[in-house]
Amino acid sequence: MGLKNVDSQCSLSELDDYDLSRLLSKPRLNIERQRSFDDSLSELSIGLGLNRGSYDNFEAMYSPRGRTGLDTPTSSARNSFEPHPMVAEAWEALRRTMVFFKDQPVGTIAALDSSEEALNYDQVFVRDFVPSALAFLMNGEPDIVKNFLLRTLWLQGSEKKIDRFKLGEGVMPASFKVLHDATTKRETLAADFGESAIGRVAPVDSGFWWIILLRAYTKSTGDLSLSERPECQRGMRLILTLCLSEGFDTFPTLLCADGCSMVDRRMGVYGYPIEIQALFFMALRCALAMLKADSNEGKECIEKIVERLHALSYHMRSYFWLDFQQLNKIYRYKTEEYSHTAVNKFNVIPDSIPDWIFEFMPTRGGYFIGNVSPARMDFRWFALGNCIAILSSLTTPEQSMAIMDLIESRWEELVGEMPLKVCYPAIENHEWIIVTGCDPKNTRWSYHNGGSWPVLLWLLTAACIKTGRPQIARRAIDLAETRLLKDSWPEYYDGKLGRYIGKQARKFQTWSIAGYLVAKMMLEDPSHLGMISLEEDKQMKPVLKRSSSWNC
Ligand code: GLC
């Protein structure tokens, strides 16, 4: 039975979310793989949000036809909105970026800007393709997504070496391109796993996005046969094996090098960056919904995932969360504490708290900070990590609301004139020299250093819908609509308010185009949110009070 036949209004008794702790306490053999279908049901019918009330209100307001379930509409044709003229232009621009391999569409190139040197922007990037893929899925065109998933999976099998050093089997490429041999007329795929990338860093996020996209495809089409293929099952296991192995780690978070995700240059995003931890958590949950327990490898992987999810959500909710109360606590921390009774477990020195945070932190609101490691808290706010935390339910419902409160009360800083800052604030002066290594592309309020990235609009919109705050997304989309098309879809904007087209920004940047389309389609039909959002797992109950978590 395909998911398309599912009545989205099914009864609450079917809504039991996947019970993590039940699994943990059960012997291995009881782990049954029958879940993905039930999970999909529950996630869909719960209302795709943490706050059913607000989601329903929103839907009643904006979607008079009722929820369309998984039967995705062909966008604007059937909606109650007048389609914005930019939508048609965006679709045309997006279609021009499609890449074909052996006559099949397999992805979209990063940018179609002939005025700039192509560098690697003529390649299909895994992370960049995600919003394109969601746009195609929402528009009822899943083939390109399926082809992409299979081709990149095949590339995962290639030998990956940087100089004489071999990378793990599970690593997924950052990008790939189609090579045409003029004489033989043959086409081949060439992938980059970091061996050509600036800084030679492997993309940790690619594998996570691949798993997240596989679930989005499965949810959107109801086609379980793709994720159930042995090669897809193996692909997921290989990706996660890279992250779930035991070693010297004392934290459940994933240790990373700088530049291993969207921010792919040195920006002090090393150690345990929120951008990676949130994607890691989401990929673990997506894999759990798709992995089959019909082999020992499958069962073992599921068990490891379940254990890691518990530890990871506890760690993140306890130590990465910052709000006014928590900031005040850190400000008054004692240091040099030893043994299990320590309150300041990581020995953070209060003097290392940057001045800007005291003004930035509203009385109401909070967020997951950029990084936590021994004696180091990176207080910067990162858009992708916080939105993914909401979508994956890494945040508690209260934390999700607090993140939205923060965005609302710090609108000028985080959204300004163009949604959305990749991180806040920018690094300047001596700190810029030390942290970026004098990177001329990452000067203050530019590119990865506090620049504004239109692609992030889709993540913001999804988070807004999930938390029942569609009006925030509407405001952000209105802002984007005043500029994006006129400015030819820039990759990023510069300045404290994001008012200037980025110094070295590409035009016709594909994910700026696709991000806008996805945001529009989700707002028009919020049931699309289900393909990129996961319900809260009731068994991963958070520590109720920050103080208690900190002390235990
Ligand atoms: C830049 C971005 C990276 C993106 C790539 C292609 O390097 O930092 O996130 O994937 O461009 O658009």
Q: Is 110 in the pocket of ligand 1 (CB under 6 A)?
A: yes
Task: Tell me the mean pLDDT in the region 99-125.
Answer: 92
What is the C-alpha separation between 276 and 256, in angstroms, rounded? 8
**CA-to-CA distance for 372 and 375, rounded, in angstroms?**
8
Ligand 1, from 99, 120, 125, 260: best to mutate by most atoms within 8 Å of Cβ? Answer: 125
At 180, which helix (H) or strand (E)?
strand 175-180
Q: Which are the contacts of 342, defined by CB distance < 8 A and separation ≥ 6?
A: none
Q: What is the mean pLDDT of residues 106-128?
A: 91
% of the chain beyond a pLDDT of 70:
83
Max intra-chain CA distance, the chain = 71
Q: Which residues contact 208 (CB under 8 A, 6 or more apart)?
A: 239, 276, 279, 280, 282, 283
Rounded to the nearest angstrom, the distance between the alpha carbon of 262 and the centre of ligand 1 is 6
Rounded distance between C-alpha atoms, residue 393 and residue 531, angstroms: 14
264 lines ligand 1 (CB under 6 A): yes
With cut-offs at 50, 70 and 90, classify the pLDDT of residue 113: confident
- Which of 327, 394, 391, 331 has its CA nearest to residue 365? 327
Q: Tell me the CA–centroid distance for residue 219 and ligand 1, in Å.
A: 27
Mean pLDDT of 376-384: 98
CA of 98 to the centre of ligand 1 (A): 17
Ligand 1 pocket test, candidate residues 127, 192, 446, 503, most atoms within 8 A of CB: 127
Q: Taken in order 425, 428, 430, 433, is the CA torsion positive or negative?
A: positive
Instruction: For ligand 1, say whether the CB of 508 is within 6 Å of any of its atoms.
Output: no
Residue 53 has pLDDT above 50, yes or no: no
Give 449 Cα–ligand 1 centroid separation in angstroms. 13
525 close to ligand 1 (CB < 6 Angstrom) = no
Backbone φ and ψ for 108, nearest 5 degrees, come out as -130, 140
Q: Which residue's alpha carbon is at the smallest distance from atom 3 of ligand 1?
A: 262
What's the pLDDT score for residue 539?
Answer: 67
Q: Give the confidence band of 75 by pLDDT, cuts at 50, 70, 90.
A: very low
Question: How far, in Å, from the CA of 514 to the mean position of ligand 1?
Answer: 14
| Distance (Å, whole) CA 107 – CA 105 | 6
| Cβ–ligand 1 contact at 455 (below 6 Å) | no
What pLDDT, on the 0 to 100 scale, is given for residue 81? 56
Question: What distance in angstroms lies between residue 52's CA and the mean position of ligand 1's atoms?
Answer: 35
Q: Which atom of ligand 1 is nearest to the CA of 265?
A: 8
Confidence tier at 550 by pLDDT (50, 70, 90): very low
Q: For ligand 1, is residue 262 a contact (CB within 6 Å)?
A: yes
Distance 425 CA to ligand 1 centre (A): 20
- Is a pLDDT exceeding 80 seen at residue 82? no
Ligand 1, closest atom to CA 511?
Answer: 12
For residue 334, report the distance from its CA to the centre of ligand 1, in Å.
41
Cβ of residue 127 lying under 6 Å from some atom of ligand 1 = yes
Of residues 452 and 41, which shows the higher confidence score?
A: 452
Amino acid (one-letter) located at 38: D
Neighbours of 76 (CB within 10 A): 18
Res 291: pLDDT: 98
Can you name the residues that pair with 99 across neighbouring β-strands?
Answer: 107
Rounded to an integer, the average pLDDT of 327-353 is 94
CB distance 284 to ligand 1 below 6 Å: no
Greater pLDDT, 29 or 232: 232
Of 46 and 160, the structure prediction assigns the larger pLDDT to 160
Q: Which residue has the higher pLDDT, 196 or 409?
A: 409
pLDDT range class, residue 114, cuts 50, 70, 90? confident
The larger pLDDT score, comparing residue 12 to residue 182, is at 182
Atom number in ligand 1 closest to CA 506: 12
Q: What per-residue confidence (pLDDT) applies to 117?
A: 82
In the predicted structure, residue 39 carries a pLDDT above the cut 70: no
**How does pLDDT run across 133-185, given as a tens digit for each residue?**
999 999 999 999 999 999 999 999 999 998 899 999 999 999 999 999 999 99
In the predicted model, what is the mean pLDDT of residues 303-317?
Answer: 97
Atom nearest to 261 CA in ligand 1? 9
Q: Give the position, in ligand 1's atom list, of the atom nearest the Cα of 509.
A: 12
Confidence band of 537 (pLDDT split at 50, 70, 90) = confident
pLDDT at 24: 40
**546, pLDDT greater than 50:** no
Q: What is the pLDDT of residue 540?
A: 63
User: Can you list the alpha helix ranges (DSSP code H) found in 173-332?
Assistant: 204-221, 224-228, 230-244, 274-290, 296-315, 324-331
Distance 292 CA to ligand 1 centre (A): 33
Task: Categorize the per-residue pLDDT at 73 as very low, low, confident or very high, splitting at 50, 70 and 90.
Answer: very low
Q: Is 125 in the pocket of ligand 1 (CB under 6 A)?
A: yes
Q: If you measure from the C-alpha of residue 264 to the centroid of ligand 1, how many angstroms do you get, rounded to a whole number?
A: 7
Closest atom of ligand 1 to CA, residue 110: 12
Q: Is the pLDDT reported for residue 33 higher than 60?
A: no
Alpha carbon distance 482, 372 (integer Å): 38
Q: Is 320 in the pocket of ligand 1 (CB under 6 A)?
A: no
DSSP conformational letter for 222: -
Of 418-422, 521-525, 540-544, minimum mean pLDDT range:
540-544
Helix residue spans in 338-410 (DSSP H): 356-360, 383-391, 397-409
Find tokens 């990676």 and name the residue: 276
Give the atom of ligand 1 at the shortest distance from the alpha carbon of 448.
Answer: 8
- Closest Cα to atom 4 of ligand 1: 262
Per-residue pLDDT band for 115 (boundaries 50, 70, 90) equals: confident
User: Could you tell me if 149 and 217 are in contact, meaning their C-beta atoms sit under 8 angstroms apart?
Assistant: yes
Atom of ligand 1 nearest to the CA of 174: 10
Average pLDDT rounded to a whole number, residues 232-255? 96
Name the pLDDT band for 536 (thresholds 50, 70, 90). confident
Calculate the alpha carbon distances from 277 to 166, 181, 308, 449 in Å. 24, 41, 12, 20
